[in-house]
Structure 1
């Protein structure tokens, strides 16, 4: 670990310096940001959910300072997939006054090796690492350090060469979003280039990202987390994980969507709420799940997925993306008669057939970095436009 000059200031890592997390767990090393509250985590022992919600997509340190240099000690947990090419270390994005200024990675950390063929995972502990940003502009500035969207990250220590203080409310609307691994940011280049982060920047809103890889399953505890989180704008992207996991049939799906929306509305009765159906995913448009790793691709050193269901099973209520899109459109249309702030967006407006021909999903499920940018730009244009479903004017600045 890098030793800091003795005149540097160590600032406690507290909630008032963090945005995008719903809970902070105190650990032996420091603090671990969570994107689901402790009560929700206690209601589900699924390792996939535990991994996803502890990966800090959209979570960032935000502070105001005159500092010219910043150090951050972290303990990341990195994933390795047996038989697949090594994954790059997670990226930390540094923003100064809203502009991307630098990027860094942390070596070392814990490692989880996942064998998708055997369905096993093995953990190995590792050391705390340090990242350093230097040469920051002179004068008072707002600094944001966006944590890696795909690495569980314990925050150990923050050091600067000048004092820091929390950034006051900027008067921006808070956008609360829930979705699957695509919303989580799978295969995006960095934490500020996941499609929700890009859309939030374009829309001028503050993001709370509850995109949970493999875990957007209409769980009641997730609905309660959405219900209880203060927000000005809400969107929920529903569908693909229910097919990936083959979790429910059409009979259960409709009532589960209603229950999920009912719970959100208990805490946000009139908040603009946008229901987004899945983007195009050719392997599951008409073929049910579950999804499974493509072992032929894995043996060739590529991570890819395939659909294992039979299209004929739709007759018995198995879900496909086409079925889910139709059902979501129907549910929103019927509910909107009494809920004028409820809206629907067909995910194929964000990524459709023409996009698939130009920018195919590399592993058959997840978009690449260029596609994240396209989806983010289109969501911002459709949702945050002045006449869009989430296009409300900004809150007035708080004075005094």
Structure 2
């Protein structure tokens, strides 16, 4: 049967969770950091992470029963590791997950973690199709893959669409590492910040940046300049991963980040979250590196390359970071009653690791993401939490 399609321009009115929409030759590319921030750091890891649309979704109202979205994804592959599944697009109707789809084609970046090199192979666009949506006017959300850079080319429906009006929900802006980005989660609505936002009844802006939660000043300015009712900052694991700084630099860097955020959000509830349990780095400094024996066996795992004795010279471990973050927040909270601290082990600790171990030694799996999201919602959005309504 022939379908009469309505093509709707892809504009900021329909895209949520992105801080910038870059116009391309074919469409738009959502970014989770503004252009000014991107210009200040040429790091390829950051460029990849911020362009992967974790938490970004198309949101509209429509009576349509069929939706098509043309995209140009960029997929990643790792030499020696099992193939990665295509990223999922989650379709929500009136807030309920209704369908999932993938996009074939697209560009591919093949990464050799033993040499640090990458090979780029271009590919064609793809069309993601959803049919059989319930009749009648409804809210439709298409959550983009959290782990694939996704250029949006065209949106087609079999009935007109309109923007969803502001319903007064609070905006929660969260910044963190690859765990907040969604590494090893099953789908874009299965990453822990999205689960927590759903349980908390808030609108999410997710600045979880894989490998790039590094107390960068440009990220602090992005948080400062983004309207938000609630803010959380999950700090620590990437600083150890990269062996980026010593304790002497860490303490003033945390203060500076918080100072910058407070310039734009002086009274906003602000929750500092320390790292979840990660046994390889609890008492052993970084850097982290791929376990070559695991790669040879077709498994992607990580190992800590530091020496516990190096803590004496100021090298960071997760234990050191938790202790210092707790101290910093206590110090600042004397003059900042809206500043709070959460120990990440309350989200995922020793008992959780015994039941749901980290598959690659760094990242939680889908079940652990759900547990972390539920725990965060209870601790932050609950009646006694810093984000209580």
Query: TM-score under structure 2 normalisation?
Result: 0.99
**Distance in 1 (alpha carbons) for counterparts of 2:151 and 2:26:** 7
1:182-331 mapped onto 2 (5 Å cutoff): 182-331=179-328
- The ranges of structure 1 where at least 4 consecutive aligned residues each deviate by more than 3 angstroms after the TM superposition are none
Task: Tell me the residue number matched to 1:339.
Answer: 336
| CA RMSD, Structure 1 to Structure 2 (Å) | 0.8
User: Deviation at 1:201?
Assistant: 0.3
**Distance in 2 (alpha carbons) for counterparts of 1:243 and 1:284:** 8
Gaps of 5+ in 2: none
Gaps of 5+ in 1: 394-400
Q: 1:113 aligns with which of 95, 110, 117?
A: 110
**Secondary structure, counterpart of 1:164 in structure 2:** coil
2:145–2:187 contact (8 Å) kept in structure 1: yes
Residue 172, structure 1, aligned to residue 186, structure 2: no
2:71–2:153 contact (8 Å) kept in structure 1: yes
**Distance in 1 (alpha carbons) for counterparts of 2:215 and 2:115:** 27
User: Deviation at 1:6?
Assistant: 6.6
User: Deviation at 1:159?
Assistant: 0.2
User: Deviation at 1:158?
Assistant: 0.1
**Distance in 2 (alpha carbons) for counterparts of 1:106 and 1:191:** 14
2:3–2:158 contact (8 Å) kept in structure 1: no
**Distance in 2 (alpha carbons) for counterparts of 1:252 and 1:90:** 37
**Secondary structure, counterpart of 2:54 in structure 1:** coil
Task: Tell me the residue number matched to 1:49.
Answer: 46
User: Deviation at 1:28?
Assistant: 1.7
Residue 15, structure 1, aligned to residue 12, structure 2: yes
Task: Tell me the residue number matched to 1:94.
Answer: 91
Query: TM-score under structure 1 normalisation?
Result: 0.97
**Distance in 1 (alpha carbons) for counterparts of 2:290 and 2:203:** 35
Task: Tell me the residue number matched to 2:58.
Answer: 61
User: Deviation at 1:7?
Assistant: 2.4
* Superimposed CA distance per residue, residues 315-346 of structure 1 (whole angstroms, 9 cap, x where no aligned partner): 00000000000000000000000000000000
